[in-house]
Chains A and B, each alone.
Chain A
Amino acid sequence: MVLPVLIIGVSIVVFTLTRISGSPIGIYLSHEMTPAEVAEIEARFHLDEPVPVQYLYWARGVLQGDLGWSGVAAAPVTEVFPDKLAATMELAIASGLVAVALGIWLGTYAGARRNRLPDHVTRVVAVSGASMPLFWFAILLLIVFWVYLDWFPIGRSDPGVFASISHPTGLYVVDSILAGSPTALWDAVWHLILPALALGYGATAIIARMMRSSLVEELQQDYVDAARAKGLPERLVLRRHARRNALIPTVTVIGLTFGFLLQGTVVVEIIFRWPGLGRWMADSVLRGDQATIMAYVLFTSVLFLMVNLVVDVVYAYLDRRVVLGE
């Protein structure tokens, strides 16, 4: 399929980026080295070879798990990755779940009451969600709920509580349930609410918008009238018939939403001091930690591609007409 080609293509782009900003081995060099030592280091990193060969060496390294050294974390990238990944995944999943549930509900509510008040409100929410600068919305939430109301904390956890349980999955909420610790669970959830809200708003808007327009379209179909003609109560017509079919195209937006969430974590993690990939990335950007940046780009792109692939497959499965080539 096309997927491997795209992954290779992305890796080439990333590799090109590494070579743009001067010598990639800059962190290994220092002024005291002799030209011979420099040449030796260059040879070790294959910089004397033609560029395509360098790419192959680099690619091999990546596949073997060598993603370079992170100046920010003072450790190999692959070592630091899993912990940060868990933190970001927890945030993304929480926001995603909220966005999907809320977005579908809102879209259905609005679509069933087309052009009446709930619909207009939803459309305002949807368009503002798509235009909302995430960093601004997050800061607003911070100002209102942390500075003034002081309802929610920032960061991921209270260090003492966090250390009191073991972390098999890396997902704080799950770990606290597994450890059977209500204090930890409360701590986890309470810290999660604000950033998940910030991140979820835009995603909710995307999904609600799609759901609404799908539902409006389905409600105009003949089978909806036919269902009413059978004597089905309106709520069944809506849920069992119209909404079920309207959900199918909405699935395709899930992939898009995922991309949105992924990108949003960068900003949200900065503002809420969440110790995830996004914040690590932001720090790396400011301090020129190339290895991290490239690893991040590679990782998010591959993830994005795979999620879209899954979405395509699920969509084909759901839309039975598509499967049998109607």
Chain B
Amino acid sequence: MVDALLSGAPVDAPVSARQVRLRRGLELAASVLSNPTTILGLAIITVLIGMAVLAPVITEPNVPDPYQMPRDWGAVAKPPGTPGYPLGTTNEGGDVLYGMIWGARTSLQLSLTVVGIAALVGGIVGSVAGGVGGRVDEVLMRLVDVFLSIPELIFALAIAAVLGPSFGNIIFALSVVFWVKYARIMRAQIIHIRQNEYIDAARVIGDSRLNIYRRDVLPNAITPLMVQATLDMGHVVLIGATLSFIGLSQAGIAEWGVLVSEGQAGIAAGRWWASTFPGLMVFLWALAFNLVGDGMRDVLDPRTESGR
């Protein structure tokens, strides 16, 4: 090619860095989509998010608060197939199907909020740790290590217990537990970039740190962060539902964990539907995001096929 240039022969039109990135992004997306399990996951996610977003449309929202389970004292503990209640009712006459659909909405809010906060806080902490280095880095990473030493569920449990049972407290507790992984990822990316020689070259020609951060660090960090975020969308709901199940959420709301917990009372009497269907939703949610997250990880980082 050098010969061609020197000899004045026509060369391919130069391509901008942006175009290269775009094309690479599309190639990766195509790769990810070539995996059938990933597609299955995406399909399930679409259905679930569709449910969540369209909840006020596909069901009759409860008054005054749609997030509260409706109570029909005339149709208490009815089995699936009862007219008007395809999946049955709970011990208080709540429509199980309603709970499933509005539960999706709750779960979407929960997971988006927690993952958003965690990624933001984690990203900032990680950037500071990696960018500043030295003592600050040491202290911050020790903090991260300490947080990682406490098993996730137990930590979230303790925080939520101390703050009092409420949905908002669960969001807070989960955010506190989940931000650490993002900090680690971000920091690793920054350190990796710093060690690259072309950064020195950029600095020599006077490029600012912020520019380097924006142009080189962030785009490269996006992929592992995205993989983690996708997987966490599933994990957050899993752990959140478990916390609700244990009793750290408000009673009577349309949330999957709460519904499973409330449905327990009827099990001994053979009333299985009030717990089974909401629990199934939690499973599907976590499964879908795990499938997609795994599919993404296979393409973006095929070496690590390990558990989590």
Distance of A125 from chain B, by nearest CB (Å): 12
- Judged by a CB distance under 8 angstroms, whether A135 is at the interface is yes
Q: Which residues of the other chain, B, contact A148 by a CB distance below 8 angstroms?
A: 270
Name the residue on B nearest A154 (C-beta): B268
Q: Are B154 and A263 closer than 8 Å at their CB atoms?
A: yes
Judged by DSSP, the binding face of A is: helix
Picked from A256, A266, A290, the residue with its CB within 8 Å of the CB of B162 is A290
- Judged by a CB distance under 8 angstroms, whether A236 is at the interface is no
Residues 113-151 of A contacting B (Cβ, < 8 Å): 127-128, 130-136, 139-140, 142-143, 147-148
Distance of A46 from chain B, by nearest CB (Å): 20
Q: Are B146 and A13 closer than 8 Å at their CB atoms?
A: yes
Q: Are B242 and A294 closer than 8 Å at their CB atoms?
A: no
Distance of A149 from chain B, by nearest CB (Å): 12
Q: Are A206 and B163 closer than 8 Å at their CB atoms?
A: no
- Judged by a CB distance under 8 angstroms, whether A267 is at the interface is yes
A305 to B282, CA, bound (A): 30
Distance of A278 from chain B, by nearest CB (Å): 10
Known: A9-B143, A127-B290. Is A304-B158 also a contact (CB below 8 A)? Answer: no
- Judged by a CB distance under 8 angstroms, whether B130 is at the interface is no
- Judged by a CB distance under 8 angstroms, whether B280 is at the interface is yes
Q: Are B248 and A285 closer than 8 Å at their CB atoms?
A: yes
Q: Are B264 and A139 closer than 8 Å at their CB atoms?
A: yes
Q: Are B158 and A293 closer than 8 Å at their CB atoms?
A: yes
Picked from A20, A133, A206, A296, the residue with its CB within 8 Å of the CB of B283 is A133
Distance of A31 from chain B, by nearest CB (Å): 21
- Judged by a CB distance under 8 angstroms, whether A156 is at the interface is no
Picked from A20, A256, A288, the residue with its CB within 8 Å of the CB of B307 is A256
A284 to B291, CA, bound (A): 36
Tally of contacts, chain A with chain B, CB under 8 A: 154
Q: Which residues of the other chain, B, contact A253 by a CB distance below 8 angstroms?
A: 306-307
- Judged by a CB distance under 8 angstroms, whether B120 is at the interface is no
Most buried by A among B37, B164, B246: B246
A128 to B160, CA, bound (A): 27
Residues 265-291 of B contacting A (Cβ, < 8 Å): 267-268, 270, 272, 275-276, 279-280, 282-283, 286-287, 290-291
Picked from B159, B257, B282, B308, the residue with its CB within 8 Å of the CB of A17 is B159
Name the residue on A nearest B152 (C-beta): A263
Q: Are B287 and A143 closer than 8 Å at their CB atoms?
A: no
Distance of A289 from chain B, by nearest CB (Å): 9
- Judged by a CB distance under 8 angstroms, whether B103 is at the interface is no
Known: A130-B290, A133-B286, A136-B279. Is A147-B272 also a contact (CB below 8 A)? Answer: yes
Name the residue on B nearest A292 (C-beta): B161
Q: Are B270 and A147 closer than 8 Å at their CB atoms?
A: yes
Name the residue on A nearest B248 (C-beta): A285
Q: Are A136 and B280 closer than 8 Å at their CB atoms?
A: yes
Q: Are A17 and B245 closer than 8 Å at their CB atoms?
A: no
Q: Are B151 and A263 closer than 8 Å at their CB atoms?
A: yes
Q: Which residues of the other chain, A, contact B37 by a CB distance below 8 angstroms?
A: 127
Name the residue on B nearest A19 (C-beta): B162
Q: Are A301 and B246 closer than 8 Å at their CB atoms?
A: no
| 6 interchain residue pairs of minimum CB distance | A136-B279, A9-B146, A131-B286, A213-B305, A131-B287, A263-B153
**Besides A256-B308, A281-B154, 10 other A-B contacts (C-beta < 8 A):** A13-B147, A20-B162, A21-B164, A131-B290, A133-B283, A136-B282, A143-B267, A206-B307, A290-B161, A293-B161
Binding site for B on A (CB under 8 A): 2, 5-6, 9-10, 12-14, 17-18, 20-21, 127-128, 130-136, 139-140, 142-143, 147-148, 206, 209-210, 213, 249, 253, 256, 259, 262-263, 266-267, 270-271, 281-282, 284-286, 288, 290, 293-294, 296-297, 300-301, 304-305
Enumerate 9 A-B pairs (CB-CB under 8 Å) in ascending A order: A6-B146, A131-B287, A131-B290, A133-B241, A209-B305, A210-B306, A263-B152, A266-B157, A282-B247
